[in-house]
Chains A and B, each alone.
Chain A
Amino acid sequence: MTSITERMVKNAPDMFCCIDKQGRFVKVSEASKKLLGYAPQKLEGEPYIGFVYHPDRAATLEFASLLMQGQDLSVFENSYICESGKVIPLRWTAQWSSSEELMFCYARDASELAKSKQQLEESINRYKALFENNPDLIFLEDKTGAITEVNKAFCEVLGVTRDEIIGQQASVFLPPEMSAVNHLYFKEALCGSTLRFDISCQARTHKQLTFDAIKFPVQAHGQVIGVQTIAKDITPIVRSFETISRQTQKLNTIFESITDAFVMLAPDWKFTIINSTAEEILCLNRQEHLGQYIWDVYPTEVNGEFYRQYHLAVETGKAVHFSSYLQAQQIWLEVKAYPSKEGLSIYFDDVTEKVVARQELEKLSLVASQTTNGIIITDKNCRVDWVNDGFTRLTGYTLEEVKGKIPAAFQHSESMDKQAFELIKENMLQGKPIAFETLSSKKNGKGVWLWVQANPVYDSIGNLERYITIQTNITEQKKTQQELERLSMVVSRTDNGVIITDAAGVTEWVNEGFTRMTGYTPPEMRGKKPGDLLQGPESDQETIELIRQGLRQNKHFNAILLNYTKSGQKMWISMDITPIRDNAGSIVQYSAILRDITFRKEAEARQLLMTQDLYRQNRDLQQFTYIVSHNLRAPVANALGLVNLLNKAEKNLDTFDYALSSLKESIVQLDTVLKDVNMILGIRDKRDVLEAEEVPLAAIFWQACHTMQDALANCGGKVVTDIDERLKVNANRSYLYSIFDSLLSNAIKYRSEERQLVIEVNCFESTEGFAVISFSDNGKGFDTAKAGEDVFKLYKKFHNNTLTKGRGIGLFLVKTHVEVMGGKIEVYSQLNQGTKFVIHIPLYYENI
C-alpha cells in the first residue's frame, strides 16, 4: 500500500510536504522539482519561510501560527520564489497535527487560479464600481421582495443608509401607489420578464422625483433568485416636458382667450397657429391647415389687399391695420398684423355685419339727406322729432320750426277731405302703416300734392316708438294726370282719329273718333300695323314710301293718303305723325292724328277741274285776243287804210284798182278769220259732248289719202305705210279724217324741192291703251327749238313761202281735234330733214 501511496504522491502535480514545529521542511514530494524547480532534497531540512515571496512572509507566518494554535483554517494562498527566481502563487491546504507536531501541507500551483481569481476580483470590482457609482438608483430584491442590495446613488438620493434599507421591503421608500406598481412589476419580473415603467417618489430633499425604471429578474443556476431594478432619474426631462406642456397649454389658453381670431404665419407664410375663433371665422381646420402655405389656402387673394398688407408689414417690420373683404369667405375682416422674427401675428375680426351695417347706414343717411322726398320722424304722439332737408325744400318749414309739432296741424289744407283725414288719424293711432295722397299747405300757403307714407316703428318689446313718414311731391304727376285726363277726354271725343302705336308701329290704342272714321274698333286694331288695315289698291305707293321714310327720320311729319274704311269705302286721310320720346330721348311710341279730308280732296279735284277749265278758257281767250289783235285787226287795218286811200285816189289810176282789189282781199281775209274762229269755237264746244265711236283707223287714213291722191301725184310724192288694219280707235270719224288730211296737205305743201317727197305712216297699239300714229315726211322741216310751243298755235306760220299760202291754222286744228278726242300729239322736226308727228288716240274697247 505504501508504494502505491508513494507513487501517487510522487506522480501528483501537487506538492505534498510536512513542516515541523520550527518551520522546516521535513518531507517534500517529488512535485517540488516541477513546481519550484528545487529537488525535494534541496528543500528538506530548510525553513520554508526562506522560499516564501517576501511580501507574503508575514501573512504566511501568521497563518501558520494560527494553524498551530488549533484553528481550523483550510486554505491559504501565498507566493514562492522558484529556483529560477520566478515568483509563483501557491494555494495551500494545511493541517496541524499536534500529535505528530507536524504540519501536513498540500500545495498547488495557483498561477492559473490566481489569475482567474484576479480577473474575477477585477470584474467584481468593476461591477461593484459600476453598481456603486452608477448615477442611476439600483436595488436588488430577493424572492421575498426584501431588498438585498442598494447602490450609493440610491442611498444618496433617497437619503437612507444601506443598513436602514437592507432587508426591508421596497414599500418603505415608495409611496403607497408606487409601491403597488412596483410590487406588480416585481411579481412579473419574478416570472422572468423584463419590464420598464415610470416610478416616482420623494427624495431626501423632499423633491418629487420621477424615474424611468427597468426591472429584470436575476438568475442563478437557471433559477430566478431575485429582481434587480435600475431607476433612472428622469425628473428634469419630465419637468421640462411638463414645463413645455404647461407653457404650450398656457400659450394656447392665451391664444384661445384672445377673443379676436388669431393666426400666426411663419416667415415662409405657413400657418403656425390658428385659434378656434379663427377656425370658426375662416372655416379652417387646425389639423388640416396648420403648416399650410397661406396663399395655397387663399389663392385668389394673391396680390390682393391682404397679400399687399401682409407683405408690407413683413417688409417694413411695422404693424398694419386694415379692413378688407375676403372673397373666399365673403366676409369683411378687420385685421391687425404684427410682424416679428417668428413671422406675422395676425389678429382679425369678422366685421361683415359692421361693414354692411355701416354701408347701410351710410346709404340710408345719404338717402335721407339727399332725397327730394320729405322725411319726418315723429314720436309715438305724432310730434316731430326730426325732418330732413328734403322736407324743408318741399314744405318750406325748417326742423326748428316744426320740432314738437304735429305735421297734420301745420300741413293741413282746407281742401282736405275731413272724412279721409279722420280715417288716416284712426289708422295711425292704431299703429298701422298708412299711405295716402293729400293736397297740403306749404309754409308760404301754396298747395302741394303729397304722397304720404307713414310707417310705425316698434321697439324690441313691441311698443310703438315712433313714426317715419315719407312725403313725396306728386304735384307734377297730379298736374300731368289731370292734364292727361283732360287730354284723353279730348282725344277720345275728338272727331279726328287718333292712333297710338309702339316704337315698331304696332297699334296700342285708337280713339272713338278713329272707330267712327274707319269702322275699325280698338280690339280690331290692337297689335296690328295701321297701314295693313287701312291701305288699299289705290293708296299711293310713293306716299306710303314717304311715310316709311318719315317714320325713320323720327320727326313730326304729315302725309295725305287714300285709305279704306272697314267697309271698303275710299277716304282721303291727312295724317300727322309725331314720335313720342321718353326722357332719354328714345322713341317709345308714335301718335298719329287722322283727319278725313275726302270732302276737301273732292273739292280740290273739282277745283282742279275748274282751274283747268279756267286755264283753258283763259288760254283760248288769250288766243282770241291774239287773233283779234293780229289776225282780225290786220285785215281791218288794211281795209281802213285802203278805204282811206280810195277816197283820195283817182278812180282811173292803177293805184285805185290795186287798192280796190286789196280791199276785197282784206275783207275775204277777215271773213276767213271769222269763219276759222267760229269753227274752232264749234269744235271746242263739242269737247265735253263729243260722241266718240268705234272708228277703224286704217280706213280713215286711206280715205284721206285718196282725197290727196292728185296732189301727191302732181308732186311725185309717195306714201309708205305700216298700219295695223285691225286697229279701232274711240274717236270722231270726221276729226280723224281732218287730222290725216291736214298732215298730208302740210307734208305736200312743205315738201323739199331737192328730193322726192316720201311720207311714212305707221300705226300700232301701245301698251297704255292707245293707238300710236307716227306720221313723218322728208320735207323742209323747221327748227323745233326755235318754234317751240308755237308749232300748234293758231295763225303761227313757219314758212315764208307765199305760194303755200298757209295761214297757220292747220296744226292748231290737228292738235285741237286730237285733244278733243282725248289724245295727244308731239312733233319732232329738223330743218331740211323732215318732220315727224306722233299722235296718240285712245283705242276702242267693246266695254266702253
Chain B
Amino acid sequence: MKTFSIDDDQISNFLTERALEEAEFATELHAFLSAEEALGFITKDCETNLPNIIFLDLNMPIMSGWDFLDALQPYKENLLGKCHIYILTSSLDTSDTARAREYELISGFIHKPLTMEDVQVILAELEDKA
C-alpha cells in the first residue's frame, strides 16, 4: 500500500503520519508540502506507481487542493478504483463539502485532525470496495 499526504502544513502531515501509525495501517507514506510536487509524481507514472490513498489539503498556496483535483481530471479513468482521494481539511465551510461532492475522484471528506478512527473507517471502506 502506498499513501500520499499533500499538505503545506508540516504539523498536519506529522499528525497524519501518527494517525496512520496508530491505526497500524501498513503503508508507505509520502508527505508533499506542495500539490505541484505530488502531481508531478502521480502524472509521471500514473499506470503503475499510483498511491492507494491520497490525503489532500485544500488551502495551499500556488496550487490549492481544488487545482490539484482539476489537474488530475485527464487521468481520471486511470485513477478511479485504484487511487482513493480523501480531502483532509481544517475548513468547516459547508461550501467546501458541497463542492467536494462534484468530484468523482473524491472518496471522502475528513475534517482535521485525522484520527485513528478515521483511518480505520477508510480501511474498512477500502476492504469493502476490494
Contact, CB under 8 Å: A634 / B61: no
Contact, CB under 8 Å: B12 / A629: no
Given the complex, which residues of A lie within 8 Å of B9, measured CB to CB? 634, 638
Q: Is B115 an interface residue (CB 8 A)?
A: yes
Give Cα distance in the complex from A634 to B18, angstroms.
17
Contact, CB under 8 Å: A633 / B8: no
Q: Is B111 an interface residue (CB 8 A)?
A: yes
In the complex where A644-B115, A800-B8 touch, is A637 in contact with B61 (Cβ < 8 A)?
A: no
Given the complex, which residues of B lie within 8 Å of A73, measured CB to CB? none
Choose, from A363-371, A558-566, A658-666, A694-702, the stretch at the interface: A658-666
Contact, CB under 8 Å: A638 / B11: yes
> Which of B12, B22, B90, B93 has the largest number of chain A CB atoms within 10 A?
B90
> Which of B11, B18, B19, B115 has the largest number of chain A CB atoms within 10 A?
B11
Contact, CB under 8 Å: B90 / A799: no
Interface size of B as a range: 20 to 34
Contact, CB under 8 Å: B15 / A630: no
Q: Is B120 an interface residue (CB 8 A)?
A: no
Q: Is A641 an interface residue (CB 8 A)?
A: yes
Q: Is B98 an interface residue (CB 8 A)?
A: no
> Chain A's nearest CB lies how many Å from the CB of B130?
28
Given the complex, which residues of B lie within 8 Å of A796, measured CB to CB? 61
Q: Is B49 an interface residue (CB 8 A)?
A: no
In the complex where A638-B12, A662-B11, A798-B61 touch, is A633 in contact with B18 (Cβ < 8 A)?
A: no
Q: Is A625 an interface residue (CB 8 A)?
A: yes
Which residues between 545 and 586 of chain A lie within 8 Å of chain B, taking CB atoms? none
Give Cα distance in the complex from A798 to B64, angstroms.
10
Selected from B62, B91, B92, B112, the residue in CB contact (under 8 A) with A641 is B112
Contact, CB under 8 Å: B90 / A800: no
> Chain A's nearest CB lies how many Å from the CB of B67?
9
Q: Is A597 an interface residue (CB 8 A)?
A: no
Give Cα distance in the complex from A582 to B93, angstroms.
66
Which residues between 644 and 675 of chain A lie within 8 Å of chain B, taking CB atoms? 644-645, 648, 655, 658-659, 662, 665-666
Contact, CB under 8 Å: B112 / A638: yes
Selected from B11, B96, B114, the residue in CB contact (under 8 A) with A642 is B11
Type the 1/0 row for B1-30, where 1 means its CB is closer than 8 Å to any CB of A: 000000011011011001100100000000
Selected from B14, B19, B33, B89, the residue in CB contact (under 8 A) with A658 is B14
Give Cα distance in the complex from A594 to B129, angstroms.
73
Q: Is A601 an interface residue (CB 8 A)?
A: no
Q: Is A640 an interface residue (CB 8 A)?
A: yes
Contact, CB under 8 Å: A799 / B62: yes
Selected from A640, A648, A800, the residue in CB contact (under 8 A) with B34 is A800
In the complex where A641-B15, A655-B18, A666-B11 touch, is A634 in contact with B113 (Cβ < 8 A)?
A: no
Contact, CB under 8 Å: B113 / A640: yes
Type the 1/0 row for A605-642, where 1 means its CB is closer than 8 Å to any CB of B: 00000000000000000000110111001101110111
15 A–B contacts, CB within 8 A, in A order: A626-B93, A629-B92, A634-B9, A634-B112, A637-B12, A640-B112, A641-B15, A641-B113, A641-B114, A642-B11, A658-B14, A662-B11, A666-B11, A798-B62, A800-B8
Q: Which residues of B contact A (CB under 8 A)?
A: 8-9, 11-12, 14-15, 18-19, 22, 33-34, 59, 61-62, 89-93, 96, 111-115
